[in-house]
Amino acid sequence: MKSNRIILILIFFAVGYFLYYKDRPGPISKLWESVSNVFKTKDNPNPYKAPEPDNEATATKDGNDTEANATNKKKTENNTKEEEGSLFDKLKETVLGKDEQDENVSGDYEIPGFALPAINKSDEIVKHKNYTLRYEEKYEVPAWVVHKLRGGFTKGKASRGDNQFIPDKKVEGNSALSTDYSNSGYDRGHMVPAGDFKCCQDLMNETFFMSNICPQVPDFNRGIWENIESRIRGWAVRDEELYVVTGPVLTKGMKTIGRYNKVAVPKSFFKIVLYYNPKNPKNARAIAFLLPNEALFGKRMNSYVVSVDEVERVTGLDFFAKLPDDVEHNLEADSDWEAWTRVQ
């Protein structure tokens, strides 16, 4: 029996070698390469990599970039992620088993209609596993992004690691590129924070789509904006489940950045948090923040609390349009900082 196994192994490698002859890899050699990649860590190509300008191969012969090159680059980055990730992920799950941290998190990620702003027929709506957004092709940023945040989502072993910002292939006209932000002086600011999904690597990875990103002043992104995100995670642990709406205030005449696309730089951002249980609507509450996109050293986050009505006024959006009218009116009229910060 043992000798038969040895013979079968020899036959397997012999056939594989034959298929690889003259640098023409066949099915067996590709399968072996894929299986080998499961156990590689350092040399494995990163499917999320969005090259900086110095590493690009999209320029014309005379060194000038064209619109066609930019479009092809978008498609190439999308296809790289899809081709390199699909077989690898399937083999990894089969050989190593499903990530343990995902098993403790419920799979109900659907965003209910009441959490979404009003949607018009002409709006470009993009849905991912745990967030939904409206993309503004004119500005190459989202108008709003809504995600469900549970306390359990904030705990786990998922890591930003080598995650790179990648184009969103679900955007019809192609999203902005990571390289549009290179050397611009602005951060690639998350609307849905990566830190909200420490539970699950796949959910965290999705936050790096460029459709979820806006240009933010570094000291703003890494300062008060990050502090607000952290505070909301604490509320989610306490309240178990929240809905968060985030986005830029889009206005005429905004500054733009970008080597391939004209990405608008918003002058301010908003974030709205909703606690709502349809079975107990009387306990519903909401709070909104409206902040300038600038370094806000020494400023307290509660200094930028406003009503939802105020955010609607400056953005032209209609939030929580599918909530019962009386509930919507009460939630949007005022933001009670004390109601959110006191122990409940």
> Which residues belong to the active site?
190
Determine contact, residues 165/78, Cβ cutoff 8 Å: no
10 Å Cβ neighbour count for 54?
Answer: 6
Nearest to 33 by CA among 314, 168, 43: 43
Determine contact, residues 194/200, Cβ cutoff 8 Å: no
Determine phi and psi for 81, rounding to 5 degrees: -65, -45
Q: How many CA atoms lie within 13 A of 257 on its CB side?
A: 20
Q: Would you state the structure tokens that stand for residue 294, as one six-digit string? A: 């600038």
Give the chain's end-to-end CA distance (angstroms, integer): 68
**Separation CA 127–CA 41 (nearest Å):** 31
